[in-house]
Amino acid sequence: MIVVRELELDLDAFEGPFDLLLTLVLKDELELREVDVAGIVLAFLDRLSDQELLDLEACGEFLVLISALLELKARGLFPEEAAELLELEPEAAAEELARRLAEYRRMKEAAGWLRDRLDTEGDRYFRLGPAPLAPKAEQPLAPQQPERLAQVLRLLATEPPQVSLAHMALRFPPVGQFLERFRAVLKRRSRFDFDQEMTGLSRVEQAVAFLALLELRRNGEVAIEQSAPFAPIRISRNDVEREDSWTLRSA
């Protein structure tokens, strides 16, 4: 059995049960002009198609509710016209009613005429386009240049040159090169600053040199000291006594 008031709706202006939609409309909390009444009808038909038997009671209730919504929506679309009709005198209201009936009669007669035309001439089909026996229009070709065509074909057949990627390759110097360099420096001096030794080197070479420095530290050959974050890095032999001013934080 279908309960119309519990019909779930998913519209642009509303999402929820039909009962809640009616409540919002009657309390003027939802603009009825924004409600898609056709969408409500389609949702009810989809719900009705899922039932094996036709629920006449639910259909009747739905027709009453949807007709009330349509009447309210129609009145909301023409509020000024309804107000004008209320202000008319009885004689003017009668004349307005007669005018509308005459207009309705003309529209009804026009609809009947169109229906008769469809019944009598509905089997006629019109061909849109030139007649089949009409002479075909000639389309002159532009001047042809076979030499240019052959030139373009030769260009397409030429193999494109190989693109060089040599400028994108990163060349890393060996770590051993900097290991020997640092060991040679420590033989001559007991301490040295890392930044001074890296003067003139690229970023890649500096990174490899720092890896070599860490390797020496792991082997216990050197001691690394830094007085503060981002301060110069000082490297010394392990057999050299460290200065207190440089031993604030060891790397």
Residues 191-213: pLDDT tens digits?
898 888 888 888 888 898 899 88
Region 26-33 average pLDDT:
76
Give the span between the Cα atoms of 157 and 177, in whole angstroms.
49
On whether the CB atoms of residues 18 and 2 are closer than 8 A, the answer is: no
Q: Dmax over Cα atoms in the chain, in whole Å?
A: 123
Give the span between the Cα atoms of 231 and 21, in whole angstroms.
71
- 34 & 104 share domain: no
- Which residues, including other chains, have CB under 8 Å from residue 11's CB and lie 6 or more apart? 35, 36, 39, 40
φ, ψ (nearest 5 deg) of residue 9 = -120, 145
- Examine residue 159 and state whether it is found in any structural domain, yes or no: no
- 190 & 239 share domain: yes
Q: How many domains does the chain have?
A: 3
- How many beta carbons lie within 10 A of that of residue 4, not counting itself? 22
Q: Tell me, what CATH number does 211's domain have? A: 1.10.10.580
CA–centroid distance for 211 within its chain: 46
Give the span between the Cα atoms of 95 and 185, in whole angstroms.
116
- 79 & 93 share domain: no
**Last residue of some domain: 87, 110, 129?**
87
- Examine residue 42 and state whether it is found in any structural domain, yes or no: yes
Tell me the residue range of the domain where 97 lies: 89-118
The bridge status of strand 8-10 relative to strand 15-17 is antiparallel
pLDDT tens-place string over residues 80-117: 555 555 565 667 766 766 777 788 788 888 888 888 88
Which residues on neighbouring strands pair with residue 203, listed in sequence order? none
pLDDT tens-place string over residues 117-126: 888 887 776 6
- Examine residue 155 and state whether it is found in any structural domain, yes or no: no
- 102 & 81 share domain: no
- Examine residue 127 and state whether it is found in any structural domain, yes or no: no
- Examine residue 27 and state whether it is found in any structural domain, yes or no: yes
